[in-house]
Amino acid sequence: MSYSGPHFDPPQQRRSRRAPMTFALAALVPGALLGWVVYEGVGRSGADPAGHADAATPRSASGLPGDDAKVASPSATPPLKGKVVVIDPGHNPGNFRHSSEINQKVDIGTNWKECDTTGTATNAGYSEARFTLDVAHRLRTLLERQGATVKLTHDGDEPAWGPCVTERARIGNDAHADAAISIHADGAPEGDRGFHVILPAEVHAGGADTRPILGPSRTLGERIETDFAKVTGSSPSNYVGGGTGLDVRKDLGGLNLSTVPKVFIECGNMRDSKDAARVTSGAWRQKAAQGISEGIVSFLRG
């Protein structure tokens, strides 16, 4: 139905729209061609061969190509990956409850000796066993961060006492450790202070033969002595080692029976007030662990 009124014009004859559309398309073609040429010459300059724009062009924080753009590199291999370190925390917090067990005698090659001892303590009662276990835990964390596989001879609660010095050596041997360290603190008179590292003496008796490990153990000990002094600020012992910070002994089963490079460290004298202030400080114990760690890393990296 059609309608015509005062506000409507009568229907007009429809004209063809083909001519104007043809003209418009003709006008658009040159512009499209020009855009394609610009894209090929400029827009694809940052595209990869497959045509994915900017896939191969690093860009700066501003989003534009720049010198500050960095390409991610693969993660570096941890320096101690593939290395095994055995840490022997001297004594055991539970030893005092097991006097009969720790007093049994074991063969250390040069003679028979007590399975283990309770260790010493500061005058205020902070025990060597607690100290050595704390430093061992800190040291384990540092070495594992470097990629090392770390084994402890005991962890304070397991076993409940010991283990015997013979077993401590065996744990390192069975692990084929690249380095082993036994952590201690001394119980000398007041005024005797400082640290020292104990190296194995040449022993070839009974089940003990330290000859294959003498050279590498000395190198390990020298590296630890140097780095421990540097990191902790402690001085070498003024009562053992003639100021060198090194001592050689053949009466320690943990060294005599070792078939892997191994040393002991006496981190300080717990009965001296100045050294006691250090060993009872958590911040200093962290430095002690760091110094030992750096010495071990230096040894293992050659």
| 217, pLDDT greater than 90 | yes
Calpha distance 175→88 (Å, rounded)? 13
74 pLDDT band, cuts 50/70/90, is: low
| 72, pLDDT greater than 60 | no
Calpha distance 155→254 (Å, rounded)? 17
**Percent of the chain topping pLDDT 70:** 75
Q: Which residue has the higher pLDDT, 4 or 262?
A: 262
Coil vs helix vs strand at 132: helix
Calpha distance 182→90 (Å, rounded)? 6
Domain borders along the chain are: 84-301
CATH dotted code for 84-301: 3.40.630.40
13 pLDDT band, cuts 50/70/90, is: very low
Please, what's the b/e burial string for 103-130 (b: 16 or more CB within 10 A of its CB; e: otherwise)? eeeebbbbeebebbbbbbbbeeeebbbb
Output the pLDDT for position 35. Answer: 47
Output the pLDDT for position 253. Answer: 98
Q: Which residue has the higher pLDDT, 261 or 64?
A: 261
Output the pLDDT for position 36. Answer: 44
**Percent of the chain topping pLDDT 90:** 73
Calpha distance 136→21 (Å, rounded)? 87
pLDDT in tens, 194-211: 999 999 999 999 999 999
Output the pLDDT for position 109. Answer: 96
pLDDT in tens, 27-56: 444 444 444 433 444 344 333 333 333 333
What's the mean per-residue pLDDT of the chain? 83
| 1, pLDDT greater than 50 | no
| 252, pLDDT greater than 70 | yes
| 258, pLDDT greater than 60 | yes
Tell me the average pLDDT across 165-192: 98
pLDDT in tens, 90-148: 999 999 999 999 999 999 999 999 999 999 999 999 999 999 999 999 999 999 999 99
Alpha helices in the chain (DSSP H): 18-41, 99-102, 128-145, 165-174, 214-232, 253-256, 273-279, 282-301
Residues labelled as active-site residues: 266
Calpha distance 225→267 (Å, rounded)? 10
Closest CA to 121 of 132, 110, 134, 112: 132
Q: How many CA atoms lie within 13 A of 218 on its CB side?
A: 10
DSSP assignment string, 184-202: EEE-PPTT---BEEEEEPP
